Amino acid sequence: MTEIYSDNRITLLHNGDAYFPVLEEALDRAEHGIFLETYIFENDHTGRRIAEALRRAALRGVKTHLLIDGFGSSGLPKTMIDYLEEAGVMVLLYRPHISPWTLRRRRLRRLHRKIVVVDLRMAFVGGMNIIDDMEIPGQDSPRYDYAVSVEGPLVKEIYASSRRLWARAVWSHRLRLVWNRDHQRPDPPPESAGHMRSAFLVRDNFRHRRDIENAYLQAIDQAQSEIILANAYFLPGLDFRHALMAAAGRGVRVVLLLQGKIEYRLAHYASRALFGNFLDAGIEVYEYHQSILHAKVAVIDEHWATVGSSNLDPFSLLLALEANIVVDDRNFALALKDSLGQAIKAGARRISENNWRSQPIMLRLLCWLSYGLIRFMTGIAGYAPTSRPKTPGRQ
């Protein structure tokens, strides 16, 4: 059962301009230990900036751990890894050397979490990789994304999760001595840093396979007035879709802000296959066109909010390691709602039912073929979704 922690301070960080300066400052203040996990660590201006901060920390004696995904960060040159390790940064690749031609199911289980923990004093969780916001060919506007900084008792949960994953990675690399030397823990976090109630949720392939999805479903089922959901890759299963449509059916305003740019064609068209049913149910669907949407956030009834790494697609919900923060706080939720409202107003287009129905039949067929192909690929890999148990009163 997910533990809710009170007395936290959760700060919303929108895009890299807000996130990376705060992250760099926290790394420079580190005294004991750093854990940084990311799917992509790019050798660009932002990546080198954070790499230098990690080096500075290691050189002053901070135990600095960097865990990067072996596929997402496959482009990081060995010279960069060597440069970090020369300063004392411990670098591990999660599931490296996975051939794109292998048929092993494990190749699909990637490290997609974006977490930083500093001294058990502060943590960061969100959707942003270590990559420049403008690292998008042909785009003039920055990638649209969010993270949060966390202070207070919740930090110990995030720390424990990062420490466990690092230990698993160490054993998989057969580096027992590294882990045995690195057993000292920093001082515990302060008992109180604010007044916000929040929880840390993960998705893994062990005990927490559906924790993030179930948190969404519970909040959607309990929604009374409004659901605003922004997600970069949106292809949820039947339970999730039915929950959204049921909410709309009982009078809840449901707003979806989805990817408008074509980044991955198969995922883009598969997501659009769901639009017809959503529009029939009275759900508002917007596509973000100002830049690449990379956010994975939601606000419900102006008090429940989540920010994290988990998309609402088979990759995130069934395969990858993910991490989200859930916040039950009106001021935080209103700030996120206002930010999403500005994005919708300035950079999104609403999909009307009439316009959708007038789409060429070949385009609609392409969408359904893409949807079917993704579901087929998920099933043949042995990861077909299972429905959640029925609860009394739920049809």
The residues carrying an active-site annotation are: 112, 114, 119, 294, 296, 301
**C-alpha 38: how far from its chain's center?**
10
Residue 316's closest CA among 235, 206, 228, 216? Answer: 235
Cβ–Cβ < 8 Å for 354, 340: no
Cβ–Cβ < 8 Å for 151, 122: yes
Q: For the chain, how many residues are written?
A: 395
Residue 244's closest CA among 210, 289, 274, 267? Answer: 274
d(CA 69, CA 38): 7
d(CA 296, CA 127): 7
